Amino acid sequence: MTDEILKVEHLNKFYGDWQALHDISFGIKKGEVVTLLGPSGSGKSTLIRTLNGLEEFKDGAIYFQGQKVTPDPKTWQALRQKIGMVFQSYDLFPNLTVMDNILLAPVKVQGRDKEDVRKDALELLDRVELRDHADSYPRQLSGGQKQRIAIVRALAMHPELMLFDEVTASLDPEMVRGVLKIIKELSDRDNMTMIIVTHEMNFAAKIADKVLFLENGKILEETPGKEFFDHPQTARAAEFLNSMDF
């Protein structure tokens, strides 16, 4: 047995003939935060989407909680209840209230009791300081508020692993901090296991247990968080950090 929640071995991914991911291997332990860094187009989103079954992979293997993932739609559908994901664009259903957005999957997919989930949801909304907005519609919320709701919606499933892909990238600067604070709290208070793609280097430096630095679909280095920001192993990563004003 291993305490790794997720393990990726020699993963290759193609878009048509073109190889987007090359021989990706890494693991993440329970409670650990892995940050994916790298220039635009390096494959961060492709990798994170592959870990959630949103992209097919050609060869290699993914293990979740020690079990090899059979990459068929049914398996991924089940796994997505344990692997929460939040993207850059908060894809809330516009015709549903905040509360109904949150209730939808736990009730319809997980078959949980609606009142139980509602209680859960209100607690989570408290945590992100949006309890007052339970009956609002997404259009009545700011981008930052919508993104906090998207996080709550994922958490309402009680995931074992959370994936965040540039969740603050399309937010106004004053909204960014509130969203990052919630993610940091998830790590500090709940010991949530997370894989995070971000361009917020100060945030990444604070939260990352481990950094995977990608370029051209390859992991150029895998370095403990603190070490990466102080002494990256590769010149390419040092240059990247410089370009990010870090």
**Residues interacting with ligand ADP, by CB under 6 A?**
15, 20, 38, 40-46
Nearest residue (CB) to Mg ion, 43 versus 225: 43
- Which listed option, Mg ion, ligand ADP, none, makes contact with residue 246 (CB within 5 to 8 Å by class)? none
Distance between CA 171 and CA 144 in Å, rounded? 6
* Cβ pair 48, 165 in contact under 8 A: yes
What one-character-per-residue DSSP string does 188-228 give?
HHH--EEEEE-S-HHHHHHH-SEEEEEETTEEEEEEEHHHH
**Which class for 31: exposed (0-12), middle (13-18), buried (19 or more C-beta within 10 A)?**
middle
Smallest distance, Å, CB 39 to ligand ADP?
Answer: 7
Judged by beta carbon, residue 21 or residue 128, the one nearer Mg ion is 21
Partner in contact with 84, chosen from Mg ion, ligand ADP, none, beta carbon below 5 to 8 Å by kind: none
Q: Report, in Å, the least distance between residue 207 CB and ligand ADP.
A: 19
Q: Indicate the length of the chain as a whole number.
A: 246
Please identify, using beta-carbon distances, which residue of 7 and 44 lies nearer to Mg ion.
Answer: 44
Longest distance between any two alpha carbons in the chain, whole Å: 54
Least distance between ligand ADP and beta carbon 245 (Å): 19
Would you say 144 and 171 are in contact if contact means Cβ atoms under 8 Å apart?
yes
Specify the residue, 32 or 165, whose C-beta has the smaller distance to Mg ion.
Answer: 165
Q: In terms of CB distance, is 15 or 246 closer to ligand ADP?
A: 15
Whose CB is nearest to Mg ion?
45
User: Smallest distance from the beta carbon of 41 to Mg ion, in angstroms?
Assistant: 8
- Which of these, 35, 33, 48, lies nearest to 198 by C-alpha position? 35
46 binds, among ligand ADP, Mg ion, none (CB under 5 to 8 A by kind): ligand ADP
Q: Could you give the CA distance from residue 169 to residue 95 in angstroms, rounded to a whole number? A: 24
Nearer to Mg ion, 48 or 102 (CB): 48
- Partner in contact with 42, chosen from Mg ion, ligand ADP, none, beta carbon below 5 to 8 Å by kind: ligand ADP
Residue with tokens 């994901």: 85
Binding partner at 20 among ligand ADP, Mg ion, none, C-beta below 5 to 8 Å by kind:
ligand ADP
Q: How far is the CB of 21 from Mg ion (least distance, A)?
A: 13
Residue 71 binding target from Mg ion, ligand ADP, none, CB below 5 to 8 Å by type: none
Which residue type occupies 123?
A: E
Minimum Å gap between C-beta 15 and ligand ADP is 3
> Which residue, 227, 221, 235, is CA-closest to 37?
221
Residue 8 identity (one-letter amino acid): V
